Amino acid sequence: MSARPHPGAEVEEVSLVAALPGLARIAAFASIRLVEWTAGAYLRAGSRLVRAAAAGEAAGDVLQKTGEDLLAYVRDLLVETADGGAAPEKPAPRGEVVEAPEHPTNAALRERGAELLRRSADVDLADDEAHPAYVRILDELAPDEARILRLLVLEGPQPSVDVRTGGPIGKLKDELVAPGLTMIGMEGGLRRPEHVGRRLHNLYRLGLIWFSREQLSDQARYQVLEAQPDVARAMAEAGRGRTVRRSILLTPFGHDFCRVCLPLDTVEIDALE
């Protein structure tokens, strides 16, 4: 009489077979995390050792700090693995600037506004603190645009003319043929004077210059401008065209930006060259 297998053995065998895919996923995940941990630990330790060597720190202190960093990294990794998600973010060190969330809530925006009002009431705040937008503006300026700003702050407003149709045709339908013709590209020494139009529009977008409808008091400057080849070509295209005199100048915000951010003294400019 043959021995019959115990019913519990079959159940255990089936359970193991069903668990194999899950065990395989766990093993794969563990191997991936091990590779990530090894690479991360190597980079962290290596970067600390390089910085410490450059700073001349003692070898014992460097090894102790490196060990502490690796232990902290292991703890974070274990928390991440156990939770099945990202480890909790550490709070930013005190004094470090934390960027606002991409889509802040109304409460967060109101808190930032309240902080501005608190700072405005701080009598100990430095009076020469630069506008916070100046850093962003410098990142959005082209080199030729800095030359235009320097020209405007040193030489003042510049003449500009629009060429429109004139004569009998202009009386029936006054059309704009060529807007905003200037000598700023030549006067400012731009590397690409043919791009002066787009440079001026970027400065206007940043709030640094203003396209004014007012004329300059010195009319002789317009006569020199109207004798330039590009104005003459536009006048010929318009067919007995006419010019409308305007001006381009710095805004008060632009004046302050130039004063704070640009070298304007002759000695400073000579040093750059």
DSSP for 120-154, please give it: HT-TTS-TTPPPTHHHHHHHT--HHHHHHHHHHHH
Does the pLDDT at position 24 exceed 50?
Answer: yes
Residue 115 pLDDT: 86
Residues 139 and 75 in one domain: no
Percent with pLDDT over 90 in the chain:
41
pLDDT in tens, 114-124: 888 887 777 67
Residues 140 and 262 in one domain: yes
Residues 143 and 262 in one domain: yes
Residues 139 and 65 in one domain: no
Residues 74 and 167 in one domain: no
**Against a cut of 0.75, is the pTM above it?**
no
**Residue 88 resides in a domain:** no
pLDDT in tens, 61-88: 544 555 565 555 555 555 544 444 444 4
Residues 147 and 63 in one domain: no
**Residue 211 resides in a domain:** yes
Residue 167 pLDDT: 64
Q: How confident is the model at residue 107 (pLDDT cuts 50, 70, 90)?
A: confident
Domain termination residue (choose one: 24, 52, 83) = 83
Residues 263 and 169 in one domain: yes
3-state helix, strand, coil in the chain (%, to 5): 60, 10, 30
The total number of structural domains that make up the chain: 2
Q: How confident is the model at residue 60 (pLDDT cuts 50, 70, 90)?
A: low
**Residue 126 resides in a domain:** no
Nearest CA to 157 out of 227, 214, 223 is that of 214
Residues 57 and 174 in one domain: no
Q: Tell me what the mean pLDDT of segment 114-137 comes to.
A: 79
Does the pLDDT at position 46 exceed 60?
Answer: no
Domain termination residue (choose one: 49, 65, 83) = 83
Residues 147 and 252 in one domain: yes
**Residue 193 resides in a domain:** yes
Residue 240 pLDDT: 77
**Residue 50 resides in a domain:** yes
Residues 56 and 163 in one domain: no
Neighbours of 245 (CB within 10 A): 17
Q: How confident is the model at residue 261 (pLDDT cuts 50, 70, 90)?
A: very high
Q: What is the CATH number of the domain that holds 185?
A: 3.30.110.190
Does the pLDDT at position 42 exceed 60?
Answer: no
pLDDT in tens, 197-228: 999 999 999 999 999 999 999 999 999 999 99
**Residue 110 resides in a domain:** no
- pLDDT-wise least confident of 44-53, 146-155, 242-251: 44-53
Q: What is the average pLDDT score of the chain?
A: 75
Nearest CA to 185 out of 206, 160, 210 is that of 160
- pLDDT-wise least confident of 93-102, 108-117, 180-189: 93-102
Structure tokens at 216: 């300059």
**Residue 215 resides in a domain:** yes
- Rounded Cα gap, residues 188 and 184, in angstroms: 6
Q: Residue count of the chain, please give it.
A: 273
Residues 66 and 165 in one domain: no
CB 263 within 8 A of CB 272: yes
Where residue 189 falls (left for φ over 0; alpha for ψ -120 to 50; beta otherwise) is left
Domain termination residue (choose one: 83, 100, 125) = 83
Domain housing 54: 14-83
Residues 149 and 238 in one domain: yes
**Residue 113 resides in a domain:** no
